[in-house]
Structure 1
Amino acid sequence: MTPQEYEFIRGFVKSRSGLVLADEKQYLVENRLLPVARKNGLESIGQLVTALRRPGARQLEETVVEAMTTNESFFFRDKTPFQHFTETMMPHMLRARADSKRLRIWCAAASTGQEPYSIAMNLKEMASRLAGWRIEIIGTDLSNDVLDKAKSGLYTQFEVQRGMPIQMLMKFFTQKGDMWQIAPELRSMVQWRKLNLLESLRGLGQFDIVFCRNVLIYFDHPTKVDVLKRVQAQMASDGFLVLGAAETVVGLTDVFHPVQDKRGLYAVNSKASPAGGLATPRFAAIAGGGVTAR
């Protein structure tokens, strides 16, 4: 691959997905895109670049972007966000949404589905407190392949062993040969949609809780700022945002602020003006495990 071809691929991938490829990632591009080229009857990255430059190569464009994106995920990844979900976010929402009994949760860049299904399992565990509630979980990703796997709910032994408590595995999964499939009642709790975070988010509606973990780390500064601003516009005025351990809103935007002593958890800034807020109390403060709203 020539330097010019690599620069084209870098610009192409960034414009389509926001992913920023560093100077030294040429080997990664070659490893991931040579199989794509050969599968499409092309002998080199150079021929692949030529094909991408032609109009009407939409399917090839999507295949290249999917090949370059990272789809690492596992159940209850990092544990802490799910503790925040059960100990901080849900207690607040149970009080703040007591009248409407409605809750919407979005998992952005949900990959093969482990994160939304982990949330669904947490919600099943607190079912006695959620009688009569209408809860929607939306999982989105730009890759058709990972969405198809997520919809199937089928995982290998290795995948279910990564982060999954054994009691959850036995309670919510059925063994299918050498695979494990999550229960139909859990699969029905999650809706799947194809979505690129660089595109409009307005069609998603408004959310109370957004998980957007380990996504921003692949974006440059302007893209991070833009994505955070547009995500906040889709959130309730007392909504929560969950980022990855290596991510932060600090230095990027003031539409969110960190929740004290809750690593990776952020609240919509009460001074921000979200689009079409719900008639719910504004988030005021969280300290320890307690929640205060006004």
Structure 2
Amino acid sequence: MRGTQLANEPDFTEADFQRVRRIAQEEAGIHFPESKSTLVYSRVSRRVRETGHTSFRAYLDSVQAPDGRAEMENLICALTTNVTNFFREKNHFVHLEEVVIPAMAARVRAGGRGRIWSAACSTGQEPWSIAMSIMTAFPDAASHDVRVLATDINSQVVAQAATGIYPEEETEAIPPNKKSQFMEPYGQGILRFGGSICRLPAFRVLNLNATWPMKGMFSAIFCRNVVIYFDEATREHLWRRLADKLEPGGFLYVGHSERVATKNECGLEQIAPTIYRKDH
């Protein structure tokens, strides 16, 4: 038995844990160290109960069966963490509004396009914050070719994010002027985004460790608190792929505990502790 089990639940064996670790690595690039066995147990056991299986082995057999793709997605969703907030790490949004968006707006008004990517959008607070920053620094952005791509591996949180609906208590970090401009009441204690800002975000399900369908380049990419779940090889490969999707002079924003490979390896120069710029 590993971790803390609930009464009358089947054993979560060492073999079960190692099997879940392999699935997480192969399907999503997520690395669970040995110390995370209790976390893995708690998340997988929920799916075992909800699907009516009598053992972890039987559940994992069903997930890996040819007709198990739908439940495989549910398992990956259960294993991924979705902790976020509006305007999290405010220095990123100050930099976005003062440096990135004005330059992007000038190009867009001259006939170009503007793209920013929220690469792990979770329940949407990050891409909606990006959209509010765009509309603040570039008020007519919605009438131009400007979009915020918002992606996540978890289809459930992507669907939730696309609604633009949030309990009012979850919006406390939004500055009052932005909240009054971009959100509207939607029932008791609930707010939703409304008006032209809703034309900016495009929500899609995407596995960062799989093939990316996007052909264009981005002025900025937010990939924060994601690679902490990957092993070193997967991390470095992702940094290089993200750098390849940035325009010359574009910016990558990462989490406060994350570091990107050196400039010579992926062409990114650190200009602040969690902000990197691609070489021109």
- TM-score higher than 0.5: yes
Q: For 1:139 and 1:179, how far apart are their aligned partners in 2?
A: 22
Per the normalisation by structure 2, the TM-score is 0.88
Within the candidate set 6, 16, 19, 1:5 is matched to 16
- 1:252–1:62 Cα change, 3 Å: farther
Is the CA contact 1:202–1:234 (under 8 Å) kept in the aligned structure 2?
no
1:219 equivalent to 2:230? Answer: yes
The residue that corresponds to 2:243 in the other structure is 232
8 Å contact from structure 2 (residues 117, 222) kept in 1: yes
Residues of 1 paired with 2:111 and 2:265: CA distance? 29
Task: Report whether the alignment pairs 1:169 with 2:155.
Answer: no
CA deviation after TM superposition for structure 1 residue 146, in Å: 0.4
Aligned counterpart, 2:115: 104
Q: How has the CA–CA distance of structure 1 residues 52 and 121 changed in structure 2, closer, same or farther, with 3 Å as cutoff?
A: same
Shift of 1:38: 1.6
Partner of 2:203: 192
Amino acid at match of 1:106: W
**RMSD between superposed Cα atoms in Å:** 2.1
Stretches (4+) displaced over 6 A: none
| Equivalent pair of 2:17/2:37 in contact (CA under 8 Å) | yes
Deviations 1:99-152 (CA, angstroms, capped at 9, x unpaired): 334211111011111111111111111235759642111100111110111111
Q: Percent identity between the aligned chains?
A: 28
Whether the 8 Å contact between 1:137 and 1:189 is mirrored in structure 2 is yes
Distance 2:70 2:196 in 1: 34
2:25: which partner in 1?
A: 14
Report the equivalent of 2:80: 69
Farther-moved stretch of structure 1 (108-117 vs 89-98): 89-98
- The answer to whether structure 1 residue 114 and structure 2 residue 125 are counterparts is yes
How many angstroms apart in 2 are the aligned matches of 1:245 and 1:23? 24
CA shift in 2, pair 1:4/1:37, >3 Å: same
Which runs of structure 2 are paired with 1:76-87 in the superposition (5 Å)? 76-87=87-98
Closer, same or farther: CA 132–26 of 1 in aligned 2, 3 Å: closer
Task: Quote the offset at 1:229 in angstroms.
Answer: 1.6
Distance 2:211 2:146 in 1: 23
136, 157, 172: which one pairs with 2:147?
A: 136
Distance verdict in 2 for CA 1:171–1:198, change over 3 Å? same
Question: Cα 1:128–1:107, aligned 2, differ >3 Å: closer, same or farther?
Answer: closer
After superposition, where does 1:39-54 map in structure 2 within 5 Å? 39-54=50-65
From 44, 47, 50, the equivalent of 1:36 is 47
2-structure distance, mates of 1:253, 1:215: 23
**Where do 5+ consecutive residues of structure 2 fail to align?**
1-11
SS of the residue 1:254 aligns to: helix
Structure 2 letter corresponding to 1:52: V
